[in-house]
Amino acid sequence: MTGLLAGLVLGGFSADAGAVETGTFSATYSISIAGIPIGKAAAESRFNGRQYTLTINGFTSGVSRLVSDASANLASNGSIYGSRVLPVSYRLNTVDGGNVSTIEMRMNGGTVTAVKAVPEPREAPDRVPLNGSDKQNVVDPLSALILPAPGVANMTAEQACDRTVRVFDGWQRFDVRLSYKRQRQIDGPEGSYSGPVYVCSARFIPVAGHVPRRVKALANNKSIEIWLAPIADMSLLVPYSIQLNIPLGTLVVRANRLTFGSSERAAAE
């Protein structure tokens, strides 16, 4: 679940088919369940030619008794060539109720060359085994939705959403399949983001490394949405909102502040 949400929340950056122009994207997100605030996350990205770096720092608070106290720090960097996103390194550190998880991963040309995952997966007779091909032509969760989008200014919502992303999170290999659902208009106050938002349906498709019974609910969840806002002057699609239904209610991760390069906009609906 962590890998999927990290990919959804932090994905949505895209680059033109050529080299990426130098620029930055920053965002702060509020996290809520059933309308009750439970945490925040801050994302930072930098683009310099074909190179990119992405980071996120987030936390949830158990004050609401809906979740435990947890924190997460993620970082990734790599290059964008045409329609391909090629991460070089990925790092994840999480602390959840005193349980610590870490991932350190190196990649080259879309292939995982080294990975250290703590804790290691527990033994389970029904775990779907990983093989070499499951670590090829993949991206890490933080780069999972860096969406190459040439001509974003003229892109349709269907084109923005129509894609499948192959992800390896250090433990599991899965796909995130996006498809067009609808389009909305965000009309914020002066200085806020105003414009179209492409609402994509997202499906989690387990491939390998998982225990089927443990991911069945997520794989069957048809409520997952990611809202993408096109930023034409930077050739970017940025995540405005992520939401899905869980047993406690609707989990929503929504931007409340966006910064593109030197311009700053408060995202408001």
Between 65 and 207, the higher pLDDT residue: 207
Q: Transcribe 190-234 into DSSP letters.
A: TTB-EEEEEEEEEEEEEEESS-HHHHHHHHT----EEEEEEEGGG
Q: How far from chain centre, in Å, is Cα 92?
A: 13
For residue 34, give the nearest of 202, 257, 243 by alpha carbon: 243
Confidence label for 5 from pLDDT (cuts 50, 70 and 90): very low
Delimit the domains of the chain by residue range.
2-265
Helices (H), the chain: 2-10, 157-161, 212-219
- pLDDT the model gives residue 176: 92
CA dist 35 and 234 (Å) reads 32
Confidence label for 188 from pLDDT (cuts 50, 70 and 90): low
- pLDDT the model gives residue 261: 65
Statement: residue 24 has pLDDT above 60: yes
DSSP state of 112: E
Q: What does the block give as tokens for 175? A: 């796909």
This prediction has a pTM of: 0.85
- pLDDT the model gives residue 249: 92
Confidence label for 192 from pLDDT (cuts 50, 70 and 90): low
- pLDDT the model gives residue 6: 45
Q: What does the block give as tokens for 227? A: 């809202």
Statement: residue 184 has pLDDT above 80: yes
- pLDDT the model gives residue 267: 53
Collapsed DSSP state (helix, strand, coil) of residue 153: helix
**Average pLDDT score, the chain:** 82
CA dist 143 and 139 (Å) reads 6
- Over the stretch 219-264, which tens digit does the pLDDT of each residue have? 999 999 999 887 766 666 778 889 999 998 999 998 887 776 644 4
CA dist 258 and 202 (Å) reads 23
Statement: residue 151 has pLDDT above 60: yes
Residue in the structure block whose two tokens are 């930077």: 234
Q: How far from chain centre, in Å, is Cα 40?
A: 15
Give whole-number Cα distances, 19 to 10, 44, 92, 110, 113, in Å: 21, 19, 27, 18, 25
- Over the stretch 113-140, which tens digit does the pLDDT of each residue have? 999 999 988 889 999 999 999 999 999 9
Give whole-number Cα distances, 226 to 38, 62, 84, 176, in Å: 19, 25, 21, 11
- Give the count of beta carbons closer than 10 Å to the beta carbon of residue 27: 23
Q: What percent of the chain has pLDDT over 70?
A: 79
Query: What are the phi and psi torsion angles at 24 (to 5°)?
Result: -135, 155
For residue 177, give the nearest of 207, 201, 156 by alpha carbon: 201
Q: Determine the Cα angle at 256 with ends 253 and 258, to 5°.
A: 110
- Over the stretch 52-98, which tens digit does the pLDDT of each residue have? 899 999 998 876 556 778 899 999 999 888 778 899 999 999 998 78
The alpha carbons of the chain give a radius of gyration, in whole angstroms, of: 18
